[in-house]
A and B are shown apart, each in its own frame.
Chain A
Amino acid sequence: MDFYLATLVQGLCFSGVALGIFISMKIFNIPDITTGGSYTLGGAVTGMMLTHNHSAYTVLLVVIVAGAISGAITGVIHTKLKINALLAGIIVMTGLYSINLTVMGRSNIPLNNIPTLFSLINISSNPNQNTFLVLLLFVLLLTLIIGYLLKTDFGISMRATGSSETMIRALGVNTDAMKIIGLAIANALTAVSGYLITQSQGYADINMGVSIVIVGLGSVVIAEVFINWLHITSIWLSLSLALLGAIAFEFAVAVTLDLGVDATLLQLVTAIFVLLIVGLPRLSFKTSS
């Protein structure tokens, strides 16, 4: 696959994570670390089920439910036991490692030409282009669903929960339930990313989720820079920016690697890159105010 297309595909696969982190971090103001575990869970379920001859559609449903359950568990630990969200996420992520290993039965499942979502749907005869087009449609659909959800009365209540808890409780919303549902949705989306990437790269790996939180954070932070800079209030634009953020982030990483940076240093480079996008606007704001 050519360099740009491969990177684009990778970025599109990560859109679930970007939307998920957008919901947990931007909408609920909850730093959710469950991401690493639920992403791998999505991959593990996909690898295990596809190799057991389940259809990619059935697998998708199971992946969504599995991701939602892991997010809901973090939500329950956070709201009902009043445990710090970061800690709740770490607890669930740690537990998920064993679950994922149990689901997979080994640390790596190659898909070796097993039918995937990308071979079930045929839009283009060129397999690489087909993957790209199927992904594009998939991500569009995902964004439409989430965008619509956030516009509904339920969605406005979700957004208000992250903005003013006193207000939304006084208006009749159980904020604990709202946070649990929100984290469930966020992690279902993240698991869907695991589902997509497993099929696009052709294998599931127990360590695939190691740096996924930073990918989601990076995407949302890139989006946030533009949201603040251009004073964007539209939900559609904000979601689109998060998606573009995921793609931009993947390009930044790919270009770095292409420039000859050693792959062992990739995580460090990624970390510094995110630090720069988060840190630079703050530095310049400080000097100007």
Chain B
Amino acid sequence: MIDIKQAHKIFNKGKANQVNAINGVDLHIDSKEFVVIVGSNGSGKTTLLNLVAGSVLPSSGSISIDGNDVTKLPDYKRSEWIARVFQNPLSGTASDLSILDNFRLAAIRTKVKGLSVGINEQFKKQVKDKIATLGMGLENKLEQPMGTLSGGQRQALTLLMSVMDTCQVLLLDEPTAALDPHSAKVVMETADKLIKDFNLTAILITHNLKDAFTYGTRIIQMGEGKILKDMPSEKEAALKQNDLFDWFG
């Protein structure tokens, strides 16, 4: 599904503050794999995700998604395959727009945003039913601006938004980092359920040891812009939490 070959990303090349954020990453991710990425701060996890999403283009190397070479394709053209949940809950939704407007945009992620009004009663009902599954009581606040909701609520809605339109790849960058333990649990469980229900290929970045242990079919440890360890699901199950703990070092 995702193929990364010899990817390098150098920020501020040739300047005093040059950073080699990604240092030759080769990574193949199969369809329906759920990859969890761990690693210390600044190890290049977000940059790797940005390379897949296209919000950062590689300095060298190639990236393909679903057999298409997307190395030079900007982020807004990769939305055809990819949906994202950001580390910052404010990044995944538009504060000034209503919940309904946000969902409308998500529902046409892969389509042309045309000159017709897409929000009708049927669409409202569809969104309402979807949101009701969260059990957060948000289904009666469709007209409310996103900005009036809490970070956890927004993160949960961002997740739902990702499957409003056809989606093949879901990228989750520390989706629960800004949330309290309860909201974090709701968001992670929702994510896991959606990934299974919609047969998504997913990449999750986390600093949460328990989440890394609980979720995913494959675990990758990054360090200094490289993949240090890469372990498939069977072995991951055999891993002791303590072993995993070392990976975070």
Interface centre among A156, A159, A163, A172 (most CB of B within 10 A): A172
Q: How far is the CA of A153 from the CA of B123 in the complex (A)?
A: 13
Q: Which residues of A contact B105 (CB under 8 A)?
A: 153, 156-157, 160, 168, 171
Known A-B contacts A154-B114, A233-B143; the reply to A168 vs B84 at CB < 8 A is: no
**Distance in angstroms between the alpha carbons of A224 and B98 in the assembled complex:** 18
Q: Which residues of A contact B94 (CB under 8 A)?
A: 159-160, 163-164, 167-168
> Among residues 168 to 198 in chain A, which have CB atoms less than 8 Å away from a CB atom of chain B?
168-175
CB of A267 within 8 A of chain B?
A: no
Q: Tell me the bound Cα distance from A153 to B152 in angstroms.
A: 27
Q: Which of B76, B83, B93 contacts A173 (CB 8 A)?
A: B76
Query: For A160, what are the chain B residues with a Cβ–Cβ distance below 8 Å?
Result: 94, 97, 101-102, 105
A122 to chain B, nearest CB (A): 33
Residues on A with beta carbons closer than 8 Å to the beta carbon of B109 = 171-172
With beta carbons under 8 angstroms apart, the residue of A148, A170, A172, A175 that contacts B92 is A170
Interface hub of B74, B84, B113, B117 (most chain A Cβ within 10 A):
B113
Chain B residue numbers with a CB within 8 Å of A164 are 90-95
Answer whether residue B61 sits at the interface, using C-beta atoms and an 8 A cutoff.
no
Residues in A with CB closer than 8 Å to B117 are 148, 151-153
Task: Indicate the size class of the contact surface on chain B.
Answer: 35 or more
Of chain B, the residue at the smallest CB distance from A166 is: B91
Chain B residues with CB under 8 Å of A156's CB are 97, 101, 104-105, 113
Q: Which residues of B contact A168 (CB under 8 A)?
A: 94, 105
**Selected contact of B106 from candidates A163, A171, A233, CB within 8 Å:** A171
B113 engages A157 (CB within 8 Å): yes
The answer to whether A163 and B76 touch across the interface, beta carbons within 8 angstroms, is no
B113 and A154 contact, CB distance less than 8 A: yes
| Cα–Cα, bound, A166→B111 (Å) | 18
Q: Closest Cβ of chain A: how far from B59's Cβ, in Å?
A: 20
Tell me whether A245 is interfacial, beta carbon within 8 Å.
no
- Chain A contact residues, CB within 8 Å of chain B: 148-149, 151-154, 156-157, 159-160, 162-164, 166-175, 233
Q: List 18 A-B contacts (CB under 8 A).
A: A153-B104, A153-B113, A153-B114, A153-B116, A154-B114, A156-B113, A159-B96, A160-B97, A162-B96, A166-B92, A167-B92, A167-B94, A171-B79, A172-B76, A172-B77, A172-B113, A173-B76, A233-B98
